[in-house]
Structure formats: C-alpha cells, structure tokens
Amino acid sequence: MLELSLLQKIAIGIVPILLAVTVHEAAHGYVANALGDPTAKRAGRLTLNPIRHIDWLGTLVVPLLMYLFTQFVFGWAKPVPINPSRLREPRRGMFLVAAAGPGVNVLMAIGWALLTVVALKGLDGGMPFAEPLALMGQVGIFINLILAVFNLLPILPLDGGRMLASVLPPAWGERMSRLEPWGLPIVVVLLVSGVLSSILLPIMGTLIGWFNTLIHALL
C-alpha cells in the first residue's frame, strides 16, 4: 500500500474516530434509558449524530494528532448524562450502563475487521476504493480497541471505574466514588509519565494480533 500524506491519514481516520466515540456515548444512553433512566433521552443524546456527542478538542484534534504522531490515542467526548437513582436497579444498572461503551467498541472493532477482509479481497478484484477502505478498517480496529481497553481502566470517571464501584461492597464503592475528582489528573500523570503506555501497549499488541489472525483466517 502507498505511503499516505497527512491529509489522507486524516481523511481515513476521521470516520472511524467519530463513529467510535459517538456510538460509545450513545450506547451508554440507550442502555440507561432501557433500564429506567430517561435523562440522556431528554437531553437529546440518544442519537448517532456525532455533533451531539463530540468535544471538538477532545474528540477530533487530540486523538488525530496522537494517532498521527504517537503510538497511543487519547481523547474524550461529552459524557452522556446518567442519573443512577432513576435506574430500576442502580448498582446493577450502572454496571451495565458503563459496560455498554467498551462493549460496543469491541463489536465495532469486529465490524471494521470484517470490512477490512472485504476490502483486502477486493484489492485483487479491482474493487473501487478497496485500499482506502482496508486502511480505514485497520484504523477502526485500532481506535475501537484502544477506546475499549482505555475505558476499562479501574479509575473513575472511566467506565472501568464505574463498573468496579458498582460491584464493590456499597461502603467501598462510596469511598471510591469520592476519588472521582482526582481521576482525570491521575490519568494525565500516568499518560505523561509513560506508565499508561507501558500498561496498555502490551494489551493492545495482543488484541491486534488476535484481530490480524482473524482477518487472515477469513481471507
């Protein structure tokens, strides 16, 4: 495949990034609504319109720059508003709401892998846009997997932190919740210090290897 220019990389990467964060956030809202909390629905967040979910800096600029120049992708979207007290079973409900985001990212990674298979098969058959689609599929796999793995870190306000707080004994979960204001500063320190990369990159390497094996098996 040809070496891509900066603009070509952006054009290929922007769709997978937008879909990854948009569907991730919408999934939280859909599950919360299904479990009794209509807060996200009333806020207009049960939509796949990316404009309702994206934070221009955190969703586009930061992830694209990191994708282009580093081996790690970090970003954020507007959090979907959730009111745990409205869930029919608050603790179980919050676990499922939090798990919905990473879960749907894994499903999307599988979908991008299948698109990659179709595109790679189409390269030999002269399928139009086969090469860009194959590249987009690879980006889609990577972006969705890194979002899933990153969000499963057991740090509030990340999804993994909410899942952990939901399964801990109530008193411990309450103590953990008090640490939430320190969560993002902790993540930034871990990122800048390189600790986060040392944790996530081996996991990502394993997952990417599994997906490459799946793609080759289907070709």
Mean pLDDT of 67-92: 80
Instruction: Summarize pLDDT for 122-160 with one digit per residue, the tens.
Output: 887 777 788 889 999 999 999 999 999 999 999 998 999
The reply to whether 144 falls in a domain is yes
pTM of the model: 0.89
CB 31 within 8 A of CB 87: no
Instruction: Summarize pLDDT for 182-216 with one digit per residue, the tens.
Output: 988 898 888 888 888 899 989 999 999 999 999 99
The reply to whether 55 falls in a domain is yes
The reply to whether 62 falls in a domain is yes
The reply to whether 101 falls in a domain is yes
Instruction: Summarize pLDDT for 48-71 with one digit per residue, the tens.
Output: 887 888 777 776 677 667 666 665
Six-digit token string for 31: 């599950």
Question: What are the catalytic residues?
Answer: 25
Domain that holds residue 214: 6-218
| pLDDT class of 106 with cuts at 50, 70, 90 | very high
Q: What pLDDT sits at residue 72?
A: 62
Please give the biggest Cα pair distance in the chain.
61
The reply to whether 94 falls in a domain is yes
The reply to whether 41 falls in a domain is yes
Residues near 165 by Cβ (< 8 Å), separated by ≥ 6? 94, 156, 173, 176, 177
Instruction: Report the domain count for the chain.
Output: 1
Q: What pLDDT sits at residue 116?
A: 95
The reply to whether 1 falls in a domain is no
